[in-house]
Amino acid sequence: MPSTTADHITTPSHSSSFNLRSVQSDESRICVVMVGLPARGKSLIAGKAMRYLAWVGIPAKVFNVGTYRRSNTPQPQATFFDPHNEEGERMRRAAAESAVSDMINWFHDDESKGVVAILDATNSTKERRKWIFEKCRDADIETLFVESICDDEDLIMNNILEVKTDSPDYKGQDPELAALDFRKRIRNYEKAYETIDDNEKQYTYVKLINVGSTVIINQIKDYLSSRLVYYIQNLHIKPRSIWLSRHGESEYNLTGKIGGDSNISERGEAYARALPSLLRKSGVPPNTKIVIWTSTLKRTIQTARHLKAETGFEKLEWKALDELDSGVCDSLTYEEIADKYPEDFKARDDDKYNYRYRGGESYRDVVIRLEPIIMELERSENVIIVTHQAVLRCIYSYFLNVPQEKSPWMEVPLHTLIKLTPRAYGTEEKRFKADIPAVSTWRGRGLLRSIRSFPLRGRRMRRVLDGLVAFVGVGVVGLNGFIGGSSIPKYCNFEL
């Protein structure tokens, strides 16, 4: 239970947690330079790294050289990429120069406050890497080269069919011909490709061989680079899903209190019993092992109890998954908080992401303590996480790229299972609502309160409204699909 004593009011909780932003010197800027032949997952890695950085609050941007090239040569044939094609070489170099110049301007622009740029291109020759290194060095930007090497022909063919035939480079063309042309494009790149070797030991680099089955790391100097490398080396592309659920309705939810460590209600228990079948209904391939993660609070453990008993899946309890600590406001209702701490109540409405409860946490604090959870999730395969409203919003926002100012206001209803399936350039989402009513704990800004605080109070009215919410939601299976997002390209972008 959070402390409510006055001497804790100004003490930020979890102050010992890693905070990527605060340990990073104001001056440091990093250019992550992707390296590798086409269809080696460079854009996927760049997009994910970008999403991770945005989530932890680090200003980052991907500069995709293929996008620059496309403005002059939208649908080139494989011969364009032949190193002996002088005109092709000239145009490819011009596109790289434009991208690097925009990137350097972005770093120096006071408004963007850029910290990490990701230069997404093949950068497949020593000469090109030397040129980028020197351009960055002269502009006071560190470089981190990330090379993806893959010699698994089946995987490369899969990659081509999965993302390349759909790209703007082949829009409107026959997918089979597009795949053939793409193979030829790769052959042309192979003529000039030079892997990073011992003669480039002066660079900071990481080489990922066959999706991280071997990783070679050279000269990582700063904390942010080491976090990035750790993140990137844990990425995998095995098919899997991540399920998210809040705990079943709790006794505190019924009375409108926040925080605490109450038991689940009768309806919460009904949800706990329904969870195994809801999970099955969501689509679990035969013989799939799923690991159950809960917080250390009673309501999530009780919610996962039947799931664990029926499936025998391994279960882990994480302190980091405990609900946002509401400090002195713990065990109060929103109405009581508004009465007792009106200034805090308004401050939270004004900037919910950054507002830190007295003696408790902000959403920003929760994201920082969830960072190891995200790292572990990236390493893991199928996981079902039973957690709390604020924590679930933060985890969901990482996968669906929800901006910080929106994430604390998202609706994540009780008694609903969210299934997230990572795809090449985004995350597919499906929601499965159990046919078990529950109160709504969502509260909008100002007077837009949760249902329980409407003027017509009283148990009967609340029950009618809760029933209505449950009725409207029953049986809904939605497909929210892919997120466009600025950092996760919907299409593959080709490199020069």
| Residue with tokens 């192979």, as numbered in its chain | 190
Q: Is 388 considered catalytic here?
A: no
- What the block records as the tokens of 321 is 């998954």
Give the separation between CA 447 and CA 416, rounded to whole angstroms.
Answer: 26
Hey, which residues between 92 and 131 contact ligand ATP (CB under 6 A)? 122
Q: Identify what 258 binds: ligand ATP, ligand F6P, none; CB under 5 to 8 Å per kind.
A: ligand F6P
Does 163 contact ligand ATP by CB under 6 A? yes
Helix (H) or strand (E) holding 62: strand 60-64
Report H helices in 234-388: 251-255, 266-281, 298-311, 334-340, 342-350, 363-379
391 touches ligand ATP by CB under 6 A: no
Of 53-61, 147-155, 192-200, 351-359, which segment contacts ligand ATP by CB under 6 A?
A: 147-155
- Candidates 162, 222, 336, 435; binder of ligand ATP (CB under 6 A) is 162
Q: Which residues bind ligand F6P (CB under 6 A)?
A: 253, 258-259, 323-324, 326, 388-390, 408, 441, 443
Tell me which stretch binds ligand ATP (CB under 6 A): 157-165, 221-229, 258-266, 344-352.
157-165
Q: Is residue 323 flagged as an active site residue? A: yes
Spatial separation of the C-alpha atoms in residues 367 and 201, rounded to whole Å: 35
Q: Can you tell me the distance from the alpha carbon of 245 to that of 297, in angstroms, rounded to the nearest whole number?
A: 14
Task: Name the binder of 485 from ligand ATP, ligand F6P, none, CB < 5-8 A by kind.
Answer: none
Strands of 205-209's sheet in order across: 60-64, 116-120, 30-35, 142-149, 205-209, 214-218
Examine residue 150 and tell whether it contacts ligand ATP (CB under 6 A): yes
Residue 114's binding partner out of ligand F6P, ligand ATP, none, with CB under 5 to 8 Å set by partner kind: none
Residue 299, annotated as binding a ligand: yes
Tokens of 296: 């250390």
Which residue among the candidates 142, 147, 269, 323 is catalytic per the annotation?
323
Q: Please list, residue by residue across 255-275, b when 16 or more beta carbons sit within 10 angstroms of its beta carbon and e when fewer do.
A: ebbbbbbbebbebbbbbbbbb
In the shown chain, the binding pattern of residues 37 to 76 toward ligand ATP, with x for contact by CB under 6 A and - for none, equals: -xxxxxxx---------------------x----------
- 480 is an annotated ligand-binding site residue: no
Instruction: Identify residue 116 by its one-letter amino acid code.
Output: V
108 is in an annotated binding site: no
Side by side, the strands of the sheet bearing 477-479 are: 315-317, 291-294, 383-387, 242-246, 416-423, 426-433, 477-479
Considering only residues 159, 250, 295, 440, which one is a binding residue for ligand ATP as defined by CB under 6 A? 159
Which residues sit in the known binding site? 246-253, 299
Which residues of the chain form contacts with ligand ATP (CB under 6 A)? 36, 38-44, 66, 122, 148, 150, 155, 159, 162-163, 208, 211, 237, 424, 492-495
Which positions are annotated as active-site residues?
A: 247, 323
